[in-house]
Amino acid sequence: MTRSSKADDGRNTITVLIADDQPVVRQGFELFLASDESIVVVAHAADGAAAVEQAHKHRPDVVLLDIRMPHRHGLWAAQKILAFPDPPKVIVLTTFDHDEYVFTALDIGASGFLLKDIDPPELVSAVKTVARGGAALSPRIAPRLIAEFARRRPGGPAPQSRPCHGLSAREVEVVELLTQGLSNEEIAGTLQLEQSTVKSHVSNISRKVGVRTRVQVVVWAYRNGVVSTE
């Protein structure tokens, strides 16, 4: 089954699945997203098992996924959904900025992390950013997230004010733009490069710093002082 839309084409809509065990949250998020005509909510799910079923049925571009749900929690659902061929982007949702599940969700390939009390414009922006291929990591919670991420991995390198990361000057520029949530197309336009060149830079950055996803590059960049959390 193929996607119902192509979110990387600006002429098409971005389809979204909202998975949360609280009806008021699902309805509220749909109301927020409906304020933008380019976003369409195609399905709701009240638990992890239903989230996987609905994601398979509707093939949305983005899944907003509560990390703590009954009948198979959000982490289980994220693993299943991200294992689909051509999987949707997954943004994990939580009421806790130090939720233990968040770090595993980021490790397995989630594209973003948002608190449920996010402002409506931020939510819309995050969905659009992730649909374009960017990473949604709210600046409001990034410092706490990075500090907790570092605490949970005490064997890793300590943050550095002048990091020795082996990245070229151009790759550092790409990292800085990644932390702003820009897609490959937007980075290419900003740096006047071909999109294929940007894609190669992102792959090389991930390999050099030992991570797999764009959001992990963002986490790494904050943690290692490549960009400031202030």
Distances (CA, A) of 180 to 66, 81, 125, 130, 213: 24, 26, 12, 12, 15
The pLDDT, as a whole number, for residue 159 is: 45
- Taking alpha carbons only, the member of 106, 97, 58 closest to residue 78 is 106
The pLDDT, as a whole number, for residue 104 is: 77
Q: List the chain pLDDT tens, one digit each, 230 residues.
A: 555 454 444 447 999 999 999 999 999 999 999 999 999 999 999 999 999 999 999 999 999 999 888 877 888 999 999 999 999 999 998 876 555 676 777 778 888 888 888 889 989 999 998 998 888 876 566 666 666 665 655 444 444 444 557 889 999 999 989 888 788 888 999 999 999 999 999 999 989 988 878 878 887 887 777 776 55
The pLDDT, as a whole number, for residue 228 is: 63
Q: Interior CA angle at 80 toward 44 and 29, to 5°?
A: 25
Pairing of strands 136-137, 62-66: unpaired
- The length of the chain is 230
The pLDDT, as a whole number, for residue 50 is: 95
The pLDDT, as a whole number, for residue 146 is: 62
The pLDDT, as a whole number, for residue 141 is: 62
pTM of the model: 0.74
Q: How far apart are CA 229 and CA 219, in angstroms?
A: 10
The pLDDT, as a whole number, for residue 164 is: 52
The burial class, CB within 10 Å (0-12 / 13-18 / 19+), for 197 is middle
Q: Interior CA angle at 145 toward 142 and 151, to 5°?
A: 140
Tell me the domains of the chain and their CATH numbers.
Answer: 14-138 (3.40.50.2300), 159-223 (1.10.10.10)
Q: How far apart are CA 199 and CA 205, in angstroms?
A: 10
The pLDDT, as a whole number, for residue 73 is: 82
Q: Nearest 5°: phi and psi at 84?
A: -60, 150
